[in-house]
Amino acid sequence: MTATTAPTTPAPVLPPLRIGKHVVESPVVLAPMAGITNRAFRRLCREYGAAGLEAGGASGATSLYVAEMVTSRALVERTPETMRLISHDPQEQPRSVQLYSVDPATAGLAARMLVTEDRADHIDLNFGCPVPKVTRKGGGSALPWKTDLFRGIVRAVVREAAPYDVPVTVKMRIGIDADHVTYLDAGRIAEAEGVSAVALHGRTAAQSYSGTADWEAIARLKEAVTTVPVLGNGDIWSAEDALEMVRRTGCDGVVVGRGCLGRPWLFTDLAAAFAGSDYRVEPGLREVTSVLRRHAEYLVDFYDGDELRGCRDIRKHIAWYLKGFPAGSTVRNQLALVDSLAALDDLIETMDLDAPWPGEPAEGPRGRAGSPRVVALPENWLLSRELDDAQRAQVAQAELSVSGG
């Protein structure tokens, strides 16, 4: 009698990611991106993440998909667009919301609203935004320089969320620039204040998205923060990049932002890779345009049936979806002006839908990298790590001047 060997299930690369009470089978987080990670895009990413778990022979919650940033002040004031941005699909679990704040009291009120009204299962705090209109007021990646202010915001949100068993996480950058590094102090403070994980984008605010992410900083943060998961972010364009980041840094999971622009199937690749499978998605143009069309449809639903608004929103995604494919400039330009689902269908029909996955031309960086710059900051911000009276007054006005939720 000939012995046979039963097929073996691949060994996972990492254990499931634990964020407080939430167990996420694939240790991957969708980074909150302004104007991108609304309910429509998150739905696409979830669909592909589930397919990746299945391909890898795993089951359970896929990844953690975080909604785009909203300001605490706008949330407390219940502005209509902010309420739209924190909306989730009924099947979306856990529901993640990212808060931006420069004021502990307002941050606490926003967190209280989210947890008492059962609007979120996870709160992420934004201390990584490098946009000048944010840093100029002392917010985003400029804020951790002021250690007491940083501690106060984290403490206020954790205090409100903890009784409801809603975990709080922090996302940050290395620092303001190479001479003003904040991430190790911020990581230790956040850990001491009771956050459930810390995520580090391996760039300074001065770098914006230029140059190369410093993965060694992620490794150093992992050494400094020992009781909660440390997540790495920056330059993950493929599943292989994610595996390499884990190998080089020892991080507990990865945060993916620009790498999934126009490529939600990256979550299939990531889920499969972390489950130990070499399954990867290489869609031809027919499938890619089908995803593009579905994304547009989901956006129309997100905007309560407003087809024009949904189609205007899809325009910025088109170049990302078509990266590397043989779509002429005329078609691309017409797609960038699309104003209805019917017009989108007509334009898609003019393309060579039998074109295969183009390989290398479709891989690599997506989105604008920008260039290094001097960070816009409040006056005398770098003279001390404590707020002076003038800075305290300026920071108090900061949330009023940050639009977009």
Bridge partner list, 22: 19
Residue 129 designated active-site? yes
Rounded to whole angstroms, what are the CA distances from 252 to 15, 81, 112, 168, 228?
Answer: 8, 34, 29, 16, 9
**Quick count: other Cβ atoms within 10 Å of Cβ 233?**
26
Closest CA to 123 of 164, 71, 81, 166: 166
Rounded to whole angstroms, what are the CA distances from 163 to 72, 118, 170, 231, 336?
Answer: 20, 13, 19, 25, 47
Question: Which H helix or E strand runs over 394?
Answer: helix 389-396
Report the distance separating Cα 155 and Cα 108, nearest Å.
9
Instruction: Say whether 372 sits in a helix, a strand or coil.
Output: coil
Report the distance separating Cα 72 and Cα 82, nearest Å.
10
Q: Of these residues, 45, 129, 251, 311, which one is catalytic?
A: 129
Helices within 275-325 (DSSP H only): 285-302, 307-321
Helices within 130-276 (DSSP H only): 132-135, 147-161, 183-192, 215-224, 239-249, 266-274
* Amino acid residing at 69: M
Could you give the residue numbers annotated as active site?
129
